């Protein structure tokens, strides 16, 4: 299917919100306007696409948003878009307005929808990774990850103060249903003795043994950072076993939850969001359709959007070795 020259574009945010999405929206809108394109903001992701909740954006529409968390376009999970009839409704709404290019800011689920949509209709799509999980292939960082990790680190540092005062074992649960990057990075940055992530099977007996060994050395302050998607069941399940195995130890849990998804984006997240948003529009203008826009080694990296969906980034063995050595 031959795609026509892009003259009007739409931008939407889909899936979980992440700090820096507004910076990306701002970059898409202002880059598009700079090149003489008409830019439409699609509210509530694919749901707004289906319901025709679409509005024309001007340069002032994105004023004073770069520092704000969340997304001014809102976001929603849309089951209707899973069906062909739902996608067709969305296409007809775009066609009626003359929109012939889309920028999707979201995660792998959002990209799957974009790949299917683009296959069925003559709408080129560009994907930008807006997710705190950092689990998309083709980019060193995703929009929101740096802010989320710094939020977790700040919270864990504060918990450490009370840990140290009371000689306690603390289990901190961070977000990461399918990916352990937040747990890994925040755990290393805060000196965690154990880091539990979905990508590795948790050996609870080994954790118990290491804590007993530390207890013999009078090292009573221990931090365990666990991703919510850890195969053992998260902080509650880990605490239950440790209380049984270490009856004399004081063990507490702290679940950070959605605090990690909010807040003003960090400088890094604002920069990469602005850069990715700019290049997403450039891709559409250059005829580079159905591309995922990422940054690797501080350079723009472009891969087929379908590849970003099929493959996830992998946590290297080097990181796991670092955790083991530094936690001793």
Q: What is the CA radius of gyration of the chain?
A: 22
Query: What's the length of the chain?
Result: 328
Q: How confident is the model at residue 135 (pLDDT cuts 50, 70, 90)?
A: confident
The average pLDDT across 199-217 equals 84
Q: To the nearest whole percent, how much of the chain has pLDDT over 90?
A: 71
Look at residue 209 in the predicted model and tell me its pLDDT. Answer: 87
Look at residue 94 in the predicted model and tell me its pLDDT. Answer: 97
- The one catalytic residue in 108, 133, 135, 269 is 133
Please indicate, yes or no, whether the overall pTM of this predicted structure exceeds 0.85. Answer: yes
The burial class, CB within 10 Å (0-12 / 13-18 / 19+), for 263 is middle
Q: Which domains does the chain have, with CATH numbers?
A: 8-144+265-310 (3.40.50.450), 146-261 (3.40.50.460)
Residue 68 or residue 212, greater confidence:
68
Q: How confident is the model at residue 203 (pLDDT cuts 50, 70, 90)?
A: confident
Q: What is the tens place of the pLDDT at every residue in 154-168?
A: 999 999 988 888 888
Summary mean pLDDT of the chain: 92
Q: How confident is the model at residue 312 (pLDDT cuts 50, 70, 90)?
A: low
Residue 127 or residue 312, greater confidence:
127
Residue 251 contacts residue 226 (beta carbons within 8 Å): no
pLDDT of residue 38 exceeding 70, the answer is: yes
Look at residue 163 in the predicted model and tell me its pLDDT. Answer: 86
Look at residue 215 in the predicted model and tell me its pLDDT. Answer: 74
Q: How confident is the model at residue 1 (pLDDT cuts 50, 70, 90)?
A: very low
230 given a catalytic annotation: no
| Lowest-pLDDT choice from 27-31, 173-177, 213-217, 238-242 | 213-217
pLDDT of residue 106 exceeding 70, the answer is: yes
Residue 308 or residue 84, greater confidence:
84
Residue 179 or residue 42, greater confidence:
42
């Amino acid at each position: 299917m031959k795609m026509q020259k892009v003259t009007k574009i739409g931008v939407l945010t889909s899936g979980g919100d992440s700090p820096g999405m507004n910076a990306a929206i701002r970059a898409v809108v202002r880059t598009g306007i700079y090149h003489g394109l008409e830019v439409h903001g699609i509210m509530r992701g694919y749901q707004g696409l289906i319901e025709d909740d679409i509005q024309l954006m001007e340069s002032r529409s994105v004023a004073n948003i770069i520092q704000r968390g969340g997304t001014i376009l809102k976001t929603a999970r849309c089951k209707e878009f899973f069906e062909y009839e739902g996608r067709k409704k969305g296409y007809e709404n775009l066609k009626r307005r003359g929109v012939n290019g889309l920028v999707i800011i979201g995660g792998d689920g959002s990209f799957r929808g974009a790949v299917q949509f683009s296959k069925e209709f003559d709408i080129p799509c560009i994907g930008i990774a807006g997710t705190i999980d950092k689990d998309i292939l083709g980019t060193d960082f995703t929009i929101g990850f740096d802010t989320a990790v710094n939020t977790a680190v700040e919270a864990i540092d504060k918990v450490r103060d009370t840990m140290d005062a009371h000689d306690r074992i603390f289990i901190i649960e961070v977000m990461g249903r399918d990916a352990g990057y937040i747990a890994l990075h925040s755990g290393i940055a805060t000196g965690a003795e154990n880091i539990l992530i979905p990508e590795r099977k948790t050996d609870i007996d080994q954790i118990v043994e290491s804590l007993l060994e530390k207890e013999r050395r009078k090292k009573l302050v221990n931090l365990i950072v666990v991703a919510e998607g850890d195969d053992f069941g998260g902080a509650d399940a880990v605490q239950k076993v440790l209380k049984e195995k270490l009856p004399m130890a004081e063990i507490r849990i702290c679940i950070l939850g959605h605090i990690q998804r909010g807040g003003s984006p960090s400088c890094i997240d604002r920069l990469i969001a602005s850069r990715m948003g700019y290049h997403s529009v450039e891709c559409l203008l250059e005829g580079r359709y159905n591309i995922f826009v990422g940054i690797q080694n501080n350079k723009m990296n472009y891969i087929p959007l379908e590849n970003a969906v099929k493959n996830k980034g992998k946590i290297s063995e080097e990181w796991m070795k670092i955790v083991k050595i530094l936690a001793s």
